[in-house]
């Protein structure tokens, strides 16, 4: 390594290619995106070897809801490092108990217990294990095109493109079209352990379900004794204008999974949240599920600060106000770009730019990059490009994002000859 820390971009990319992922390096080279994450602050990230700046409208799926390196979150970690470390997951923990108590005060309904994990996939795995263990049933129903993580059981609930290369799916996993009440009613029966949905499935193109969908799912699960698991890994912590996306649907799940943004972009943290009825499953063997780094004590004050910042009425009102700017802005963009833009799929600042065909998502990701926006298309519905800016952006930056999206759409139309 260059001792001065001033490696060239080719040197960085070559090392990444040789020791991390040759496939990723080759892919980004082939599409002309040679960006290397360097300095980052608030809603912005700069290339490590040039002056190129991007407005981060991907946010790693909601990890950076509060922007990069939020001062209050950094301060919480710095203070925590003075006295805490990972801790020991076998023992009683004061920091974990404080974080779990704060979550209990903020979660919907009677979800008063939390088991911590390092990431969303691990937290989903526990939710599915608990559903099977508690009900004594095996069938898990999820949405086709959905995504819940790349780990074992989580992978089994997701899209086939992520699991098929590793062999056949294990038995007991069934998929139905999202937001389809009839198909779900046909699939759920007295052998169903759980139904699991992302409140708004990001990787499937941000389809916003009908207002009566989740109340229907709740009633259907109650009728058959199945559990309802809601994945709030991306929609939680204010992304939709409410602290939890499921609040828009006045529905309380049996299990809710939180992740990504809970980390503050600083320390990995995820959570599987449940009520006392389900927590009782662990009484026979409280060590039946463990996570060495889940709920690491040094990270608990970070997550607590994230919850404090994200749950204030002023913060949530700000998210709704900025979301309204995007709603109005995309109405104007649709009139300017009818050849390519269908509209904006939106619940608060959970947004997807819907376009006319499958080629548009990848193309717009590139033209937005060329115009200073980091945005990634929805991999399970490439007509849609995700638009997930940090929730802290102000009105002038929201206007700038809309202007840059306008330029990106114009460039995409030109490439397509529209």
Q: Look up the CATH architecture of domain 71-310.
A: 3-Layer(aba) Sandwich (3.40)
Nearest Cα residue to 277 out of 258, 254, 257 = 254
Q: What is the model's pLDDT at position 1?
A: 41
Q: Rg of the chain's alpha carbons, rounded to an integer?
A: 21
Q: Where are the domains of the chain?
A: 71-310
List the beta strands (DSSP E) in 48-167: 53-56, 113-117, 139-143
- The whole-angstrom separation of Cα 218 and Cα 366 is 40
Q: What is the mean pLDDT of each run of 10 residues along the chain (418 residues)?
A: 67 96 95 94 96 96 97 98 96 97 98 98 98 98 95 93 92 97 98 98 97 98 98 98 98 98 98 98 95 97 98 98 98 98 98 97 97 96 97 98 98 95
Q: In the chain, what is the straight-line distance between the N-terminal and C-terminal CA atoms, in Å?
A: 47
Compute CA 48 distance to the chain's CA centroid, rounded to the nearest angstrom.
25
Find where tokens 């947004």 sit.
351
What pLDDT is attached to residue 218?
A: 98
The structure tokens listed for 139 are 């069938």
| Helices and strands, counts by H and E, the chain | 14, 14
Q: How far is CA 308 from CA 73, 121, 159, 353, in A?
A: 10, 24, 34, 30
Question: What distances in angstroms separate CA 64 from CA 35, 68, 142, 290, 304, one per listed residue?
Answer: 18, 6, 27, 27, 15
Tokens coding 179: 């937001």
**DSSP string for 67-99:** -BT-HHHHHHHHHHHTT--S--TTS--HHHHHH
Angle between helices 313-336 and 395-416 (to 10 degrees): 30
pLDDT at position 6 is 78
| Residue-level pLDDT at 5 | 57
Q: Which residues contact 254 (CB under 8 A, 6 or more apart)?
A: 131, 194, 221, 227, 228, 229, 274, 275, 278
């Amino acid at each position: 390594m260059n001792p001065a820390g001033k490696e060239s971009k080719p040197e960085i990319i070559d090392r990444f290619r040789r020791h991390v992922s040759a496939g990723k390096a080759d892919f980004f080279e082939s599409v002309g995106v040679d960006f290397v994450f360097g300095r980052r602050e608030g809603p912005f990230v700069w290339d490590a070897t040039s002056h190129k700046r991007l407005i981060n409208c991907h946010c790693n799926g909601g990890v950076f809801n509060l922007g990069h390196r939020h001062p209050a979150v950094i301060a919480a970690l710095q203070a925590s490092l003075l006295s805490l470390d990972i801790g020991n997951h076998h023992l009683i923990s004061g920091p974990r108990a404080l974080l779990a108590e704060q979550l209990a005060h903020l979660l919907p309904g009677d979800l008063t217990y939390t088991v911590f994990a390092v990431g969303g996939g691990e937290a989903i795995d526990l939710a599915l294990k608990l559903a099977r263990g508690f009900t004594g049933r095996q069938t898990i129903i999820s949405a086709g095109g959905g995504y819940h993580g790349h780990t074992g059981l989580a992978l089994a609930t997701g899209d086939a493109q992520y699991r098929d290369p590793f062999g056949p799916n294990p038995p007991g996993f069934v998929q139905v079209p999202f937001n389809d009440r009839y198909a779900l009613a046909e699939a759920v029966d007295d052998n169903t352990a759980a139904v699991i949905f992302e409140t708004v499935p990001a990787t499937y193109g941000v389809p916003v379900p009908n207002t009566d969908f989740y109340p229907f799912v709740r009633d259907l699960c109650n009728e058959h004794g199945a559990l309802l698991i809601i994945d709030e890994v991306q929609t939680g912590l204010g992304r939709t204008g409410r602290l939890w996306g499921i609040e828009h649907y006045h529905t309380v799940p049996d299990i809710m999974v939180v992740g990504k943004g809970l980390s503050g972009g600083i320390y990995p943290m995820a959570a599987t949240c449940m009520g006392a009825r389900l927590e009782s499953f662990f009484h026979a063997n409280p060590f039946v599920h463990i996570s060495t780094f889940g709920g690491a004590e040094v990270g608990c004050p970070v997550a607590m600060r994230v919850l404090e910042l994200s749950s204030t009425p002023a913060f949530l009102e700000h998210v709704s106000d900025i979301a309204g700017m995007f709603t109005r802005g995309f109405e104007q963009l649709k009139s300017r770009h009818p050849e390519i833009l269908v509209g904006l799929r939106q619940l608060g600042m959970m947004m997807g730019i819907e376009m006319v065909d499958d080629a548009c998502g990848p193309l717009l990701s590139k033209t937005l990059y060329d115009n200073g926006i980091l945005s990634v298309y929805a991999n399970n519905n490439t007509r849609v490009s995700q638009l997930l800016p940090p929730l802290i952006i102000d009105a002038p930056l929201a206007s700038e994002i809309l202007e840059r999206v306008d330029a990106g759409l114009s460039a995409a139309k030109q490439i397509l000859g529209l």
